[in-house]
Amino acid sequence: MYSVRRRWLITVIMTSVVMVLATALSGLAINVATNSPAEWFPSMNDHPLPWLAGSLVAILIAGLALWWAQASYAASLLTTVPVTQRPESWVIDRPQELAAVVRALTRRRAAATVGITTAVHGAGGFGKTTVARLVRANRHVLRRFGGRVYWVTLGRDARRGALVEKINDLVKQVDSARAQPFTDVRLAAEHLASVLADGPRRLIIVDDVWFEDQLDAFPVAGRCARLVTTRIPSLVAEAVPVKVDQMSDAQASRVLTAKLPQQLPQTIIDGLLEETGRWPLLLRLVNRIILDQARSRTDVADVARELLDQLRTDGPLQVDKLTGASVRQLDVNDPDQRDEAIRATIEASAGLLGTSEHARFAELAVFAEDETVPVTLITTLWAATGDLDPAGSRALCARLADLALLNLTATDAGGAITLHDVVRDFLAESLGKKALIELHHTLVDSARESLPAGPAPTGPGGPPVTAWWALPESSRYLRDHLVEHLLGASRQDEAEAVATDLRWVLSRLEETGPAGPAADLALIATERAAHVAGVFGRNAHLFGPTAAAHSCADILLDRVAHDPIWQAQTRRLAKRRSRPRLVSITPPPDLPDPALRRAFDTETILARDIVFGPEDDWVAVVDIWGTVRRLDRETGRRLPHRALSRETPGVSDTALSADGGTLAVARHAEGVVTISDPSTGRLLRRITDDAKRVAVSRDGSLLACAGSGKPITLWDLRAGRKVMTLAVDGEFVSDIAFCRDKTTIVVAGFDRVIRVVDIGTGREQTNFMTSGSVKGIAASADGTWVATIEDATTVNLWKVRTGERIGSLTDRTGSLEAVAVAESGTSLATAGVGGLVRIWDVAAALTQSSPVAVPDRRTRIIQKGTVLATHNFIGTVAVSGFDEDRMDTVDLGSEHFAVVDLTPDGSRLAVERTFSPGYVEIWNVAAGQREATILDVRQSTRSISIAPDGRRVAAPGRRGILVWDVETGRKRRFAPDSWGKRWLRSLAFSRNGSWIAAAGGAESYLWDLKTGRPILVLRSAGTWMSYIAFTPDDTRVVTCGDGKTHIWDAQSGRQIAVSKAPEWVESLAFSPNGRFVATVSDSRELWVSDIVSGRLLAVTRVDSTLQTCTWSPDGRHVLTSSDNTQYRFEFRNQPATKTQKVWPSGSA
């Protein structure tokens, strides 16, 4: 496709250049011929006429070449249209409607949405889809969008999970690299919008839209256009409407008489047009009836006359008793007349079928609307209901297709059919509800016969069940609609059992991603299904495809292993897993709270404040620099029309009004609070107040300031003056918040007391004690309850009048800094470290009277040999064996530090302090004392390494590596001149302490520490190396970057192998036997790979950004951590490790 487009562009450019030159020459020749000589062009002066003739020929040839290029390009684009989306051979052009759509899509300012609808409300079969197919194959449209036209068919049944699957499939078509397995319609729709916004012109055709939420699921973004077909005009009222109504007499006559062997008398044609109301669906059916009868009868006019008589007798029109002529024409706007016309016409078609064939045709109503149904499944149904063999079923399908009662498409699997929804609705109504239930029964029971029995999900003691999870991949229709058919058969218990069976969930997950299981569970209205759907949905963002395909199922089993419904089955299934996998030793510390509804990333380092919008439809987050990000509360999508307000550093607190129009930024050191409009960044006012904490009322009219050693003050922001001093000391205030009516303000103190203060009097109304230190507070709109963040892990809800805790929720990642309450009082929003915003359900939080226990949150892990050091960034480092059989604790004091490193024997720590200029300290672990301080670290490196013997410390910088002798403090720099000012990203000492390696860019270096000379340069073209490490025996160097792991020989610098790795490796660790390597990345994944083969063995995902990893001494476990959470995984089903050397070519 793109090579064809390039050739077309080259041809157009070249021919255009030739045409311009030839035109210029022809003009010059005409001037010369009319006595205006060109002295600088002697040849032209001497022979103007040949030059004129030649230039005209060149113009003609260039024009023909341009026409040929355009025609060839259009023809090549036509070949990209799938067969199922092309107009069928019998289709009659609808030039008026087609021109209107094409004009709307291709004009200079193309419409964002064009709606093809019908003037007949609620009617189908008028050719909307046919016109859309004509547009799909139109060369002007294909050229306008460069062939990037995508088709989605919906229908009434495409709701919830089914709708999500269609959105996910469309994203996969548009940009497969950005496909994600969403389970929520709005999240999937917003992701689709972001994909469409970034690319070139695209056209999305959404066929058969019934509901507004279906239309919203396929948004318009960027340079994308949308073509919608619907029978409900109000859905496209704001789009460019193109109505497809009854055909003209000429068009209807062409459809009616297409391919007939004889010409029909005009009176018969007129009569049939009256009976069908020029309705394309009925015209096509009538045409096929006549064609079918013409096979055995020579007088086609006689056949048509008999059919007309039948329609007049059975149809909806009144018939004159004397003449037999219709008194009036079919009124397609009358639903009753439409139904009668459909019934009469389909009955006329079905009248050509035998009784048994008619019954089989009616049974097709059991299948889902607008779906492609395999003929093999129809054969299974008809074998049970009519004793038809496969050959008979295929023949009947072909017969029905000949009569235009269905569409039959040839496939490798034996063909598939589609049924027009108008025909399906008629068949379903004619069968009746009871017969449809029986058909669902028969279909399910027939499909069941080909499947084996499996053990009950409850265990060996239960009755066997049908192994629906064993359906072959070719049974896509039945996999997608099995639960619907079970419910259609009134088998709700069996539907629930299937949808909640982990074996079924795993098979659907493998085929469709999380959207499939979520769609099945959403159909079942039982308590058990709702519980399972909640467990699955809260973790669904972790169940997407993994680099090791089998690991997706392992992640699912790991995340649901402790759920009471799935626990027993998870254990049984896990025992049968034979591939390498990572399994949590204890319940994952980041399992979501039941009150959590959704989470999304704001790409901020730390959030200071968060608010809901006035209509609860968006949330706004303010970071530590005063930058405001306004986001859709359902999807997390950044709202593009709101500008950012960038403030300078030195911010002590921020506050945003609920309407998003007023931003307060406090700078305690400067003694000022700035008030600005975050939409423009314009400074509105400067308030002189040395506030440490600030709050803004919901309408942006009042400002509350809490500072050092003075009462809380209130300011009128419109007048810019102080209006009230509250009788509350602001010295120990941790946060403040206004109630909606501005009559009260709630104050949280470091003393764990919440005070409610009357703004009118400035006096305290009531107070109560919380259970922990409060970091943030927010009040409900009615002021009856408040939400407090305590210990960065818990949000407690308190009744203001009594001080009673009425609810609680827990964020196990322990990163909470700010909380907000929605105007409706039904939702909470939290934000904090890492910028992750979470939306919580208040009703669910109210059912939890006490917070969920949070495990010990010692964080960063460093391993050297068999020794671990864990630290929590607030001054405490614990050094122990892997199983914590021994532990030494070092108190580093209150000064903040960025990073810690450890000697292999655990005797010394290197600690980098974060003050500027930074410095590094060396601590004796056993004594708990500082041994040395290196003061001349010019900047914070946030990456230091201590040599195995503890005698040297190294830090990367902008011009190379700085290495200090711990005893003397002497500094040496290791850097080749070619590096310039390039930042080094990672460094490592060899195990024997004689080498040091550094990575940063496409080159990595090894230096000899004794001589200071570089001994190896490792070059990886096109790869930016972000991590470097030595293997346990120092014979290999491993570098990582840009999704690749490179293994190098440490003696020769020869590259030994390249394997797949995460995009940005944060940490890397080798197993004790040197066979396996574990890597973690900012994608929240842990990978384990085989170093020898380069094969990825296992992957797991967590809900935090991982930063470090290490192995247990026995090589069975992997320990990893984020900023505030530890995870322990067992590496099960490890490949056998042979006794010979694992390193190739003479390695240890």
- In tens, the pLDDT along 791-802 reads 777 899 999 888
- In tens, the pLDDT along 155-206 reads 766 766 678 888 888 888 888 878 877 777 777 887 888 888 877 888 888 8
- What is the predicted pLDDT for the residue at 957? 63
Of 73-77, 276-280, 536-540, 843-847, the one with minimum mean pLDDT is 73-77
Of 322-331, 518-527, 555-564, 948-957, the one with minimum mean pLDDT is 322-331
> Quick check: 494 pLDDT over 80?
yes
Residue 219 domain boundaries: 83-243
- What is the predicted pLDDT for the residue at 610? 85
Q: In what order do the strands lie in the sheet with 1126-1132?
A: 581-584, 1126-1132, 1117-1121, 1108-1111
Greater pLDDT, 647 or 383: 383
* Residue 907 domain flag: yes
Which one-letter DSSP state was computed for residue 483? H
Residues 361 and 425 in one domain: yes
Q: Tell me how crowded residue 766 is: count the other CB atoms within 10 A of its CB.
A: 14
Most confident among 43-57, 563-577, 982-996 (mean pLDDT) = 563-577
Using alpha carbons only, give the angle 151, 153, 158 rounded to the nearest 5 degrees: 140
Residues 19 and 98 in one domain: no
Q: What is the Cα–Cα distance from 562 to 571, expressed in whole angstroms?
A: 10
Greater pLDDT, 343 or 611: 611
- Give the pLDDT band (50/70/90) at residue 1129: very high
Greater pLDDT, 311 or 572: 572
- In tens, the pLDDT along 1059-1069 reads 788 877 888 88
Q: Tell me how crowded residue 1141 is: count the other CB atoms within 10 A of its CB.
A: 14
- In tens, the pLDDT along 505-533 reads 999 998 888 888 988 998 998 999 988 98
- What is the predicted pLDDT for the residue at 162? 74
- What is the predicted pLDDT for the residue at 825? 86
CATH of the domain at 183: 3.40.50.300
- What is the predicted pLDDT for the residue at 959? 65
- Give the pLDDT band (50/70/90) at residue 368: confident
Residue 931 corresponds to which amino acid? E
- Give the pLDDT band (50/70/90) at residue 775: confident
Structure tokens belonging to residue 1141? 């050397």
Most confident among 343-347, 605-609, 775-779, 947-951 (mean pLDDT) = 775-779
* Residue 251 domain flag: no
* Residue 456 domain flag: yes
Contacts with 1108 (C-beta within 8 Å, 6 or more apart), sequence order:
860, 861, 862, 1066, 1067, 1080, 1120, 1121
> Quick check: 642 pLDDT over 80?
no
Which one-letter DSSP state was computed for residue 326? B
- What is the predicted pLDDT for the residue at 501? 95
- Residues 840, 831 contacting (CB under 8 angstroms): no
- In tens, the pLDDT along 979-1035 reads 555 566 788 888 888 899 888 777 888 888 888 888 888 887 666 787 888 888 888
Question: What mean pLDDT do residues 450-472 have?
Answer: 89
- In tens, the pLDDT along 848-864 reads 655 554 444 445 666 66
Q: What is the Cα–Cα distance from 1121 to 44, expressed in whole angstroms?
A: 82
Contacts with 57 (C-beta within 8 Å, 6 or more apart), sequence order:
none
What is the signed CA dihedral for 400, 402, 404, 406, rounded to 10 degrees?
Answer: 40
* Residue 720 domain flag: yes
- In tens, the pLDDT along 142-152 reads 878 877 889 88
- What is the predicted pLDDT for the residue at 40? 66
Q: What is the Cα–Cα distance from 781 to 825, expressed in whole angstroms?
A: 7
Q: What is the Cα–Cα distance from 111 to 226, expressed in whole angstroms?
A: 8
- In tens, the pLDDT along 262-286 reads 888 888 888 888 877 776 777 777 8
Q: How many domains is the chain partitioned into structurally? A: 6
- The pTM assigned to this predicted structure is 0.69
- Among residues 220, 243, 266, which one ends one of the domains? 243
* Rg of the chain taking only CA atoms, in angstroms: 37
- In tens, the pLDDT along 1038-1056 reads 888 878 888 888 888 888 8
- Among residues 846, 881, 910, which one ends one of the domains? 846
Residue 384 corresponds to which amino acid? A
- Give the pLDDT band (50/70/90) at residue 377: very high
Instruction: Give how far the C-alpha of residue 665 lies from the chain's centroid of Cα atoms, to the nearest Å.
Output: 34
- What is the predicted pLDDT for the residue at 444? 95
- What is the predicted pLDDT for the residue at 229? 84
- What is the predicted pLDDT for the residue at 518? 86
What is the three-class DSSP state of 416?
strand
CATH of the domain at 969: 2.130.10.10
Question: What mean pLDDT do residues 399-403 have?
Answer: 84
* Residue 1142 domain flag: no
Contacts with 390 (C-beta within 8 Å, 6 or more apart), sequence order:
376, 379, 383
- Give the pLDDT band (50/70/90) at residue 643: very low
- Give the pLDDT band (50/70/90) at residue 365: very high
- Give the pLDDT band (50/70/90) at residue 645: very low
SS (H, E, C) 964-996: EECCCCCEEEECCHHHCCCCCCEEEECCCCCEE
Residues 87 and 110 in one domain: yes
Question: What mean pLDDT do residues 290-296 have?
Answer: 79
Of 79-83, 239-243, 581-585, the one with minimum mean pLDDT is 79-83
Question: What mean pLDDT do residues 1128-1146 have?
Answer: 65
- What is the predicted pLDDT for the residue at 752? 86
- Give the pLDDT band (50/70/90) at residue 42: confident
> Quick check: 406 pLDDT over 80?
yes
- Give the pLDDT band (50/70/90) at residue 80: low
- What is the predicted pLDDT for the residue at 323? 36
Residues 972 and 1064 in one domain: yes
Residues 719 and 750 in one domain: yes
- Give the pLDDT band (50/70/90) at residue 453: very high
Q: Tell me how crowded residue 889 is: count the other CB atoms within 10 A of its CB.
A: 11
Greater pLDDT, 331 or 60: 60
Structure tokens belonging to residue 984? 């080094």
Residues 239 and 182 in one domain: yes
Residues 839 and 867 in one domain: no
- Give the pLDDT band (50/70/90) at residue 321: very low
Distances in Å between the Cα of 419 and the Cα atoms of 125, 207, 383, 936 are: 12, 15, 20, 79
Q: Which helix (H) or strand (E) holds 245?
A: none
Question: What mean pLDDT do residues 840-853 have?
Answer: 70
Residues 1103 and 1116 in one domain: yes
- What is the predicted pLDDT for the residue at 884? 60
Of 119-123, 230-234, 491-495, 1079-1083, the one with minimum mean pLDDT is 119-123
- In tens, the pLDDT along 715-773 reads 999 888 898 888 777 567 888 998 876 788 899 888 888 988 888 888 888 889 888 78
> Quick check: 934 pLDDT over 60?
yes
* Residue 559 domain flag: yes
- What is the predicted pLDDT for the residue at 126? 55
Greater pLDDT, 1130 or 407: 1130
* Residue 589 domain flag: no
Nearest to 342 by CA among 279, 289, 398: 279
- What is the predicted pLDDT for the residue at 1148? 30
Contacts with 203 (C-beta within 8 Å, 6 or more apart), sequence order:
105, 141, 144, 145, 148, 149, 150, 224, 225, 226, 227
- In tens, the pLDDT along 665-679 reads 888 878 889 888 877
Q: What is the Cα–Cα distance from 1058 to 1035, expressed in whole angstroms?
A: 16
Contacts with 327 (C-beta within 8 Å, 6 or more apart), sequence order:
317, 318, 319, 320
Residues 603 and 550 in one domain: no
Residues 812 and 885 in one domain: no
Residues 821 and 937 in one domain: no
* Residue 854 domain flag: no
> Quick check: 9 pLDDT over 70?
no
- What is the predicted pLDDT for the residue at 573? 92
Tell me what percent of the residues of the chain surpass a pLDDT of 70: 78
- What is the predicted pLDDT for the residue at 1146? 29
- Among residues 36, 52, 78, which one ends one of the domains? 78
CATH of the domain at 355: 1.10.10.10
Residue with tokens 């709606």: 115
Q: What is the Cα–Cα distance from 855 to 1125, expressed in whole angstroms?
A: 8
**pLDDT, the chain, mean:** 79
- What is the predicted pLDDT for the residue at 5? 56
- Residues 637, 620 contacting (CB under 8 angstroms): no
Q: What is the Cα–Cα distance from 345 to 340, expressed in whole angstroms?
A: 8
Residues 739 and 614 in one domain: yes
Tell me what percent of the residues of the chain surpass a pLDDT of 90: 13
- In tens, the pLDDT along 901-933 reads 777 777 888 887 766 556 778 888 888 888 887
